[in-house]
Amino acid sequence: MEKKRIYFDHAATTAVRPEVISAMLPIFEDVYGNPSSFYNEGYAANRYIEQSRQTVAELLNVSPKEIFFTSCGTESDNWAIKGTAFSKQKKGKHLITSTIEHHAVLHSMQALEKLGYEVTYLEVDGYGLVDPRQVEEAIRPDTILVSIMMANNEIGTIQPVAEIAEICRAKGVLFHTDAVQALGAIPVSPHDLGADLMAFSGHKFYAPKGVGIMYIKRGVRIANFMDGGAQENRRRAGTENTPYIVGITKALELALAAMPEESKRLIALRDDLIRQLQSTIPYTKLNGHPVKRLPNNINLAFEFIEGESILLLLNELGYQASSGSACTSGSLDPSHVLLAIGLTHEIAHGSLRLSLGKENTKEDTDKLANDLPGIIERLRLMSPLYADFKRGKIKNIIPEEGTDILKGALTYEV
Amino acid sequence: MEKKRIYFDHAATTAVRPEVISAMLPIFEDVYGNPSSFYNEGYAANRYIEQSRQTVAELLNVSPKEIFFTSCGTESDNWAIKGTAFSKQKKGKHLITSTIEHHAVLHSMQALEKLGYEVTYLEVDGYGLVDPRQVEEAIRPDTILVSIMMANNEIGTIQPVAEIAEICRAKGVLFHTDAVQALGAIPVSPHDLGADLMAFSGHKFYAPKGVGIMYIKRGVRIANFMDGGAQENRRRAGTENTPYIVGITKALELALAAMPEESKRLIALRDDLIRQLQSTIPYTKLNGHPVKRLPNNINLAFEFIEGESILLLLNELGYQASSGSACTSGSLDPSHVLLAIGLTHEIAHGSLRLSLGKENTKEDTDKLANDLPGIIERLRLMSPLYADFKRGKIKNIIPEEGTDILKGALTYEV
Amino acid sequence: MKYSEKVMDHFLHPRNVGEIEDATARGTVGNPTCGDIMRIDLKIIDGIIEDAKFMTFGCGSAVATSSMATEMIIGKSVGEALELTNKAVAEALDGLPAVKMHCSVLAEQAVKKALLQYYQDNDLLTDEIREKFGNLDDDAHDHGIDEDDLPGLGNK
Amino acid sequence: MKYSEKVMDHFLHPRNVGEIEDATARGTVGNPTCGDIMRIDLKIIDGIIEDAKFMTFGCGSAVATSSMATEMIIGKSVGEALELTNKAVAEALDGLPAVKMHCSVLAEQAVKKALLQYYQDNDLLTDEIREKFGNLDDDAHDHGIDEDDLPGLGNK
Ligand SMILES: Cc1ncc(COP(=O)(O)O)c(C=O)c1O
Ligand SMILES: Cc1ncc(COP(=O)(O)O)c(C=O)c1O
């Protein structure tokens, strides 16, 4: 069973680049001093951290004072949302977000609701787009934060965040954007964007899991999330994880240097694979926006079958991917994102996310384009829904020739 | 200047053990899958995490369901305190802690005060000990949490936490203990102790900085701190840092295996060094308790001089240590711990912490015992306070022969 | 989350997939909304289950449990088949992850639903037997597991 | 936090440490509570600072700035010495970390306080000159730095 394994789950996490491991190793071995100390070993650690901050700042074209290292994207999101909530409660307790945010945002919002805050969840259209006018309409005098992600992790839809930031600025409301999926994939410029707060995570661009970055615009004051020592200019406590800080910086450098070429390459691979799969597999829907889409993201719904089964069969053939079917998580609900773009439960359960990355080639995608139709067919032939459909007892929801949008789709009556 | 460098700052942080680096490296290289996924690479990551949890649980003699991996000791403390506060506010908004806690605890408490919670800060005696009877007296019907550290990071004092836990249990109040300095240094048994919540940090026992452990007693329900995905049994979100989780586990295994011998060795080194320094350097006070003390901790106050200067001269001779003088942190106040045990500002400013570790030998401590008197003398000869003292214009606070406790010490009039 | 080898074997090589043209009885349980539907067809001759086939829309363990369930009842009498429990199915598969135990419940219920039809069609339903069917129409999706035991998938 | 080589040089090899037995004037500033005290002794002959010595209780930059300050005023006239600014001292040391700028302020003030004594003892205090002394008794510890710029030490 020693097949070549093909990794199509880059949106979940990526392998650490060898160059990043090489950059971190000497730090583990030699730069162990406490960065806040009065001896050579500590100065060395501190220098690595401050040089990293400087590099990240240059790469994002911001000031080093606007860059804070955190333990992950989740922490950055929690900090942005709860930090704003706790420091601005005199102004108000109302926050705005969308229904398709990552759980790091949604669950932070829900935690605030339990503490007496009020949250407006904006709906999205069939492509997963937030309408900036709805943001404007939702802002109230007591609104303290708008949090809309830059790009969605499941369906890849890229939001009009600059427009939303502009509205927030005009209304004097802080704007946070979860840019975890965006950084390294599409251009990210906090100043051009006009965001006040931005969350990033290293393991989406070949740094290790467990290190993130938080951008806080100069002058923006929010409460700390991680309270404790005076690290990170007194705004993020906890002994600094020097190796990972060096690692995320190296990874970001490499990702951004490669991006202009790489994003073109991935878009071509992506669109080719989508086209192939939609033409060979009937009753297939492309989830997310056809063009306002992360270069590496493919999300397809295959009618009549369930996602985990697809993943298991793919795994047998050496592919790694993910699905929006979450029966496994103990909840019966499939991905909240897929439901938010109007998919019925049964269609959402049959979704597959393929997220490409640097090591994927046309050979890989062609191989998948060749293998997947058989997998889908095999599962359909096992599906009582498909049998009923063939027998004319139920109607299909997705047209035979495929589609990229569905509206008002009905649920099967079984 | 290629002298052998001697590291005496193990209480601040430790170098990652080579065995721990070796355990982590293959994970960085090969086990990159998303632990929550449906393919072999993800299963592998997940297996590493669950095996680590199992091992940690066995080492601490608790259930794996009581162990959660976090990003650092600070996070564990924040979680324990804020998680309790946010989930128990119907019962009350009163918390109890001591004046000598780590900032991860104290600043979390202060953050809660800003949100309308009330905190009682218990004073300690001259050795830094909390009196369990005072805990009992401070508990009110609306008290939701008592947080007293197991061992202090600056002066090494070991608290009567089992007694305090017993009181809390009897009164139906949750008990958290910051055991960051204790784990790996002295026996730690959550169940015997009877704590509900405990915080640990890897980099105090030769794991990397940026990974911690949280113990939550089965049945104890507190709000999540890191909200987001369903990782860590839905109680701590964020993509799992598999290499560090493997690393902290390996480090804990090794630390606990070595502890029985190592703690005896360190106590002998520690007491010998204290004796030597107190006998050769006049006007020297031992801070902290002479016996109820971490095996690796030495904290001395040298009258008439300032700590940073000592550190800089030590660094020149190849030693790394730390001080309770915090003039550098922008605050004029020296360590809150040293003030809490009754030191005047000027004495507290002259303190030095030497924290020993596995690579320190008798040769190291003897070398220091030989070098330090000259450093202290040199600084005293530069000190206007010492000149005034010699001239009889001011009186000494610490007796010439040294002491381990001071009460009602006066401040100099200059 | 990882399945046992038995589960994977039954998922990858499901036994008795399909429909029985002239089935004596059919049981369909589950709900597309929840992500799993199981249908079991039985061919019963003289009170003996001569053949059983299944179709399943669902996850790996849904397929594996239906496959195993059909294996376990073929050749049995209807009375014996009625004693099939979800635990027995799960055990025969060398166990299921906690979050997947509901699949074995579904498999048991699909078998029972088909048997119920057989008992009803043949007027065999005594009060005693009726009890064995329990409340088939109740939510077949009561996962019945301790929330505390749920590992979960993050959507990333 | 790291000091410049100049600061370390003056800390490790301080110039002019000590007291002047027959000092013309002495200035002591700072406060043991704050962790630094500086004392500067001046030997002034015919309005020229023939010698200066210091004693300092304080951190590395407190020692270095007092050492540098004495160097900068020896051989100068009292009028010239009066123009010494904390900025000049800091610059002569190739800069100080932001959190340590107050040490240079202390050094300037110690010099001024000694000079003030000299001007007073010799009845040289005109209104114009009095102004140059500013408000010596004000809190010499107003760090005057943007909180935002403070890196800090965790107590660990
Ligand atoms: C007693 C104590 N608590 C908490 C912490 C914080 O741990 P970490 O640096 O891993 O956040 C430390 C060390 O820095 C400590 O000594
Ligand atoms: C959009 C988005 N936000 C936040 C996160 C959380 O990042 P992390 O896993 O580093 O906590 C992820 C990935 O898991 C993500 O895709």
B209-222 per-position pLDDT tens digit: 999 999 999 999 99
| Of B38, B46, B231, Cβ closest to residue C154 | B231
Q: Tens of pLDDT along A147-162?
A: 999 999 999 999 999 9
Distance from C-alpha of A148 to C-alpha of A159, rounded to nearest angstrom: 8
**pLDDT score of C141:** 42
**Is the model's pLDDT at A22 over the cut of 80?**
yes
Query: Taking a C-beta distance cutoff of 8 angstroms, is the pair B324, D155 a contact?
Result: yes
What integer best gives the mean pLDDT of chain B? 94
pLDDT digits (tens, 9 = 90+) for D120-139: 999 999 989 988 888 675 44
Ligand 2, closest atom to CA A152? Answer: 1
**CA A304 – CA A397 distance, rounded (Å):** 9
Q: Is any atom of ligand 1 closer than 6 Å to the C-beta of D2?
A: no
Ligand closest in space to the Cα of A179: 2
Task: Tell me what percent of the residues of chain B surpass a pLDDT of 90.
Answer: 89
Mean pLDDT of D62-83: 97
Residue A4: per-residue pLDDT? 82
φ and ψ of B7, to 5 deg: -95, 115
Residue with tokens 């594996």, as numbered in its chain: C64
**Tokens found for residue B331:** 């605050």
A15: enclosing H helix or E strand = none
Average pLDDT over residues A42-46: 89
Q: D37 CB near a chain B CB, below 8 Å? A: yes
Query: What is the mean predicted confidence (pLDDT) over A107-115?
Result: 98
Residue A261 is predicted with a pLDDT of 98
pLDDT at A411 over 80: no
For the segment D30-47, the average pLDDT, to the nearest whole number, is 91
What's the one-letter identity of residue A245?
I
Chains that touch D (3 or more CB pairs under 8 A): A, B
Report how far apart, in Å, the C-alpha atoms of D17 and of each of A237, A239, B210, D39 are.
Answer: 40, 38, 44, 10
Does the CB of C141 have a partner CB in chain A at under 8 Å?
yes
Using CB atoms, pick whichever of A34, A43, A65 lies closest to residue D156: A34
Using an 8 Å Cβ cutoff, are A35 and A233 in contact? no
Q: Which residues contact B217 (CB under 8 A, 6 or more apart)?
A: B66, B190, B195, B196, B197
Longest distance between any two alpha carbons in chain B, whole Å: 79
The model's pLDDT over B2-40, given as tens digits with 9 standing for 90+, comes to 568 999 999 999 999 999 999 999 999 888 888 877 788
Give the CA angle between residues B158, B160, B161 to the nearest 5°.
100
Residue A36 beta carbon below 6 angstroms from any ligand 1 atom: no
Angle at CA of residue C154, ends C153 and C156, nearest 5°: 130
3-state DSSP assignment of residue B218: coil
How would you classify the pairing of strands A118-122 and C36-45?
A: unpaired
Check if B72 has its Cβ closer than 6 Å to any atom of ligand 1: yes
Confidence band of B412 (pLDDT split at 50, 70, 90):
confident
- B82 CA distance to ligand 2 middle (Å): 23
Q: Please, do chains C and A touch (3+ CB pairs < 8 Å)?
A: yes
Query: Is residue B61 scored above 70 in pLDDT?
Result: yes
Ligand 1 pocket: which of B153, B294, B336 to mutate (most atoms <8 Å of CB)? B153
Residues D133 and D109: beta-carbon distance below 8 Å = no
Which positions in chain B touch C155 (Cβ < 8 Å)? 229
- What is the whole-number distance in angstroms between the Cα of residue B113 and the centre of ligand 1? 21
CB contact under 8 A, D19 and B387: yes
Cα–Cα dist A263/B202, whole Å:
38
What band does A409 get if pLDDT is binned at 50, 70 and 90?
Answer: low
* A239 with D156: Cβ contact below 8 A: yes
Contacts with B46 from chain C: Cβ below 8 Å:
1-2
The closest alpha carbon to A200, from B138, A192, C96, A186, belongs to A186
Regarding beta strands B319-320 and B6-7, do their DSSP bridges make them parallel or antiparallel, or are they unpaired?
Answer: parallel
Task: Give kind and range of the element (H or E) at residue B396.
Answer: none
Q: Name the residue among B316, B381, B412 with its Cβ closest to that of D32.
A: B412
Residue in this structure with the two tokens 């006070």, named with its chain if needed: B285
Among the bound ligands, name the one nearest to the CA of residue A10: 2
Angle at CA of residue C74, ends C68 and C77, nearest 5°: 125
For residue A226, the chain B residues in CB contact (below 8 A) are: 74-75, 78
DSSP state at residue B4: P
pLDDT category at A327 given cuts 50, 70, 90 is very low
* Cβ(B153) – ligand 1 distance below 6 Å: yes
Q: For position D1, what pLDDT does the model report?
A: 67
Residues A231/A238, Cβ–Cβ less than 8 Å: yes
- The C-alpha atoms of residue B208 and residue A244 are separated, in whole angstroms, by 10
C15, two tokens? 């036994």
Ramachandran sector of residue D49 (left: φ over 0; alpha: ψ -120 to 50; beta: rest): beta
For testing contact with chain B, the best of D2, D17, D153 (most B CBs within 10 A): D153
Q: Which residues of C are catalytic?
A: 34, 103
Q: Which residue has the tokens 């606990």?
A: B256
* Element of type H or E holding B28: helix B18-30
- Inform me whether the pLDDT recorded for D142 exceeds 60: no
Q: From the CA of B83, how far away is ligand 1's center (Å)?
A: 18
DSSP H helices, B305-399, are 307-316, 336-340, 345-349, 362-380, 384-390
Residue D146 contacts A, CB cutoff 8 Å: no
Q: Where residue B137 falls among pLDDT bands split at 50, 70, 90?
A: very high
Where do we find the tokens 């987001």? B228
Cβ contact D–C (≥3 pairs, < 8 Å): no
Q: Is any atom of ligand 1 closer than 6 Å to the C-beta of B180?
A: yes
The first and second tokens of residue A131, run together, are 């309408």
Calculate how far, in angstroms, residue B329's C-alpha sits from the geometric centre of ligand 1: 17
Strand order, beta sheet including B94-98: B67-70, B212-216, B197-201, B174-178, B143-147, B94-98, B118-122
Ligand 2: residues whose CB is within 6 Å? A 72-74, 77, 102, 104, 149, 153, 178, 180-181, 201, 203, 212; B 238-239; C 156
pLDDT digits (tens, 9 = 90+) for A262-301: 999 999 999 999 999 999 999 999 999 999 999 999 999 9
Separation of CA A337 and ligand 2 centre (Å) = 14
pLDDT of residue A217: 98
Q: Which atom of ligand 2 is nearest to the CA of A149?
A: 1
| B51–chain C nearest CA distance, Å | 14
Nearest to A348 by CA among C29, C34, C64: C34
Which residues of A fall below an 8 Å CB-CB distance to D?
34, 36-38, 43, 46-47, 65, 228-231, 233-234, 237, 239
Q: What is the pLDDT of residue B405?
A: 84
Contacts of C140 in chain A (CB under 8 A): none
ipTM at complex level: 0.91
Spatial contact of C38 and C62, defined as CB atoms under 8 Å apart? yes
Report which DSSP code applies to B173.
-
- Contact of C155 with chain B, judged by CB distance below 8 Å, is answered with yes
Specify the ligand 1 atom closest to the Cα of B77: 4
Count of beta carbons in the 10 Å neighbourhood of residue A1: 5
pLDDT band at D143 (very low <50, low <70, confident <90, very high): very low
> SS3 for C48?
strand
Query: Is D89 within 8 Å of D104 (Cβ atoms)?
Result: yes
Phi then psi dihedrals of residue C48, to 5 deg: -110, 135
How is residue A305 written in tokens? 């079958």
Q: How far is C110 from chain A (nearest CA, A)?
A: 13
Give B147 Cα–ligand 2 centroid separation in angstroms.
Answer: 32
At residue D73, does pLDDT exceed 90? yes
**Nearest-angstrom CA–CA distance, B338 and B345:** 9
CA distance A4 to A2: 7
Lowest mean pLDDT across A355-364, A405-414, B200-209, B297-306? A405-414
Which ligand is closest to the CA of A37, given by its number? 1
Question: At A209, is the secondary structure helix, strand, or coil?
Answer: coil
Residue (of B13, B18, B4) closest to B251 by Cα position:
B18
Predicted confidence at residue B188, as pLDDT, reads 98
How far is the C-alpha of A141 from the C-alpha of D146, rounded, in Å?
Answer: 31
Measured in degrees and rounded to the nearest 5, phi and psi for residue B275 equal -60, -45
Q: What local confidence, expressed as pLDDT, does residue A410 receive?
A: 66
Q: Which ligand is nearest to the CA of D155?
A: 1
Are the C-beta atoms of A329 and C150 separated by less than 8 Å?
yes
Ranges of residues in chain C with a pLDDT under 70 are: 1, 135, 137-156
Q: Taking CA atoms, what residue in A is nearest to B229? A: A103
Helices (H), A157-241: 161-171, 190-193, 231-234
- Quick check: do C and B touch, 3+ CB pairs under 8 A? yes
The mean pLDDT of B178-187, rounded to a whole number, is 98
Whole-number Å distance between alpha carbons of A135 and A122: 8
In this structure, which residue's CA is closest to atom 12 in ligand 1? D156
Q: d(Cα B301, Cα B299) in Å, to the nearest integer? A: 7
Does position B311 have pLDDT exceeding 90, yes or no?
yes
Average pLDDT value for chain A: 94
**CB-based contacts of D144, cutoff 8 Å, min separation 6:** D101, D102, D105
- C140 to chain A, closest Cα gap in Å: 12
| DSSP element (H, E) containing A74 | helix A73-87
CA distances from B8 to A27, A46, B232 (A): 19, 18, 35
Question: Do the Cβ atoms of D148 and A233 come within 8 Å?
Answer: yes
CA of A201 to the centre of ligand 2 (A): 6
Intra-chain end-to-end CA distance of chain C, in Å? 16
Q: Select the residue from A305, A312, A344, A375 to test the C interface by mutation, using most C Cβ atoms within 10 A.
A: A312
* CB spacing of C1 vs B65 below 8 angstroms: no
